[in-house]
């Protein structure tokens, strides 16, 4: 491991330079208009695995419906999922709602990352983001942008997805957050990674850390090495092929749904009963296909009409949902499309 940047430039100088750059170049994002912990927390959860451009309209729409922590805590989960529909990764919305109830019960947000991390749905990143951005705790945040920036600044060739390497990045981020206003430092680090130190085409010539960047100096000395070689690429997870056979059970204008325990995708959500099996190759005939994370899903629905609405199926309680309620009860477009194929 090499950390020449810290040898040439002190952490305090790095933090000062970064904060000055941020004051001149920060994007006017809606969640930066307030230090309110609820709004910061909501934005951080939404931004996980989603781009800023995609999040902004959802963030504003969600806040209009649930303007305070109490509003979210008192809401029905179905209403929360309805407002989340389209953002994907619906487990985030479920965890958000559960965490809001826990926070509301305890009277609001604790002010430290250690306390926040004890609550459901708060991992190391989210806890530090809320505590530093809302309450000024001197802790750094480590997300994908920060890992990329710090990897290049210090020319770190680490397996960043492992716990040991994450601790190294956390230590470096903490040092920076303790050298200046943690709100400014953490926002600036993420901003630098999002706008300048990008994955494939970093604009090094306008980077505030260009003279201190070890990866840039390294690539200048070795023509075979590039800034974009940092961080080390993570081994890609292989795609899995799944055939999903949902049973579209209809009684009148209502469809039968069960909590999903039969498929590895859309865990815990209400889905039509059925089966999902992993295959080595795609089927030749299928109704449609979709993809959720690394699952390639080929859908082969069957349709059944029942004269009356039963309460249970295979020992599990059924939920009956009318066509007008589908979007509210089932945020996943893949599941709705399967149900709508019964038309």
- pLDDT tens-digit profile of 243-285? 999 999 999 989 999 989 999 999 888 899 999 999 999 999 9
**How much is the average pLDDT of 138-160?**
96
**Torsion region of 66: left, alpha or beta (phi above 0 gives left; psi -120 to 50 gives alpha):** beta
Instruction: Give the residues across from 291 on adjacent strands.
Output: 296
- pLDDT tens-digit profile of 48-96? 888 999 999 999 999 999 999 999 999 999 899 889 988 888 888 989 9
Is the pLDDT at 342 greater than 70? The verdict is no
Which residue carries 């004269």 as its tokens? 307
Torsion of CA 111, 113, 115, 118, to 10 degrees: 140
pLDDT given at position 223: 64
Domains 4-229 and 240-340 alike in fold: no
Residues of the chain with pLDDT > 70: what percent?
97
pLDDT given at position 87: 87
- pLDDT tens-digit profile of 109-130? 999 999 999 988 899 999 999 9
CA distances, 316 to each of 118, 245, 287 (Å): 32, 18, 27
Residues tagged active-site: 44
pLDDT given at position 230: 95
Q: Are 82 and 327 in contact (CB under 8 A)?
A: yes
Segments making up each domain of the chain, as ranges: 4-229, 240-340
For 168, the enclosing helix (H) or strand (E) is helix 163-177
Pick the CATH number of 4-229 from 3.40.309.10, 1.10.340.30, 3.90.1150.10, 2.40.160.40: 1.10.340.30
Work out the mean pLDDT of the chain and round it to a whole number. 92
Is the pLDDT at 2 greater than 60? The verdict is no
Statement: 240-340 belongs to CATH 3.90.79.10: yes
pLDDT given at position 3: 47
Residues of the chain with pLDDT > 90: what percent?
75
Range of lowest pLDDT (10-14, 47-51, 111-115, 325-329)? 325-329
Range of lowest pLDDT (9-18, 28-37, 89-98, 272-281)? 89-98
- pLDDT tens-digit profile of 174-216? 999 999 999 999 999 999 999 999 999 999 999 999 999 999 9
Six token digits for residue 299: 């859908």
Q: What is the rounded distance in angstroms from the CA atom of residue 173 to the CA atom of residue 182? A: 10
């Amino acid at each position: 491991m090499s950390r020449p940047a810290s040898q040439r430039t002190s952490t305090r100088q790095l933090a000062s330079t970064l904060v000055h750059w941020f004051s001149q170049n920060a994007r006017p994002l809606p969640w930066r208009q307030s230090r309110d912990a609820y709004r910061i927390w909501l934005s951080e959860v939404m931004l996980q695995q989603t781009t800023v451009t995609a999040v902004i309209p959802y963030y504003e729409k969600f806040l209009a419906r649930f303007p305070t922590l109490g509003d979210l805590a008192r809401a029905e989960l179905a209403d929360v999922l309805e407002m989340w529909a389209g953002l994907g990764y619906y487990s985030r919305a479920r965890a958000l709602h559960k965490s809001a109830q826990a926070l509301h019960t305890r009277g609001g947000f604790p002010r430290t990352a250690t306390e926040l991390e004890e609550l459901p749905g708060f991992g190391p990143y989210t806890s530090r983001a809320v505590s530093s951005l809302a309450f000024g705790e001197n802790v750094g945040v480590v997300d994908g942008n920060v890992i990329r920036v710090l990897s290049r600044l210090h020319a770190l060739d680490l397996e960043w997805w492992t716990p040991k390497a994450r601790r190294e990045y956390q230590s470096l981020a903490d040092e920076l957050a303790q050298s200046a206003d943690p709100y400014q430092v953490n926002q600036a680090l993420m901003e630098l990674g999002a706008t300048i130190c990008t994955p494939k085409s970093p604009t090094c010539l306008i980077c505030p850390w260009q003279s201190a960047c070890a990866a840039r100096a390294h690539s200048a000395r070795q023509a075979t090495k590039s800034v974009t070689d940092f961080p080390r690429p993570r081994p890609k997870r292989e795609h899995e092929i799944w055939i999903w056979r949902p049973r579209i059970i209809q009684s009148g204008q209502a469809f039968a749904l069960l909590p999903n325990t039969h498929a590895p995708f859309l865990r815990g959500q209400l889905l039509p009963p059925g089966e999902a099996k992993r295959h080595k190759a795609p089927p030749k005939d299928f109704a449609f296909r979709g993809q959720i994370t690394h699952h390639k899903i080929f859908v082969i629905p069957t349709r059944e009409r029942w004269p009356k609405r039963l309460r249970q199926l295979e020992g599990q309680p059924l939920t009956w949902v009318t066509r007008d309620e589908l979007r509210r009860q089932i945020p996943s477009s893949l599941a709705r499309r399967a149900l709508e194929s019964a038309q």
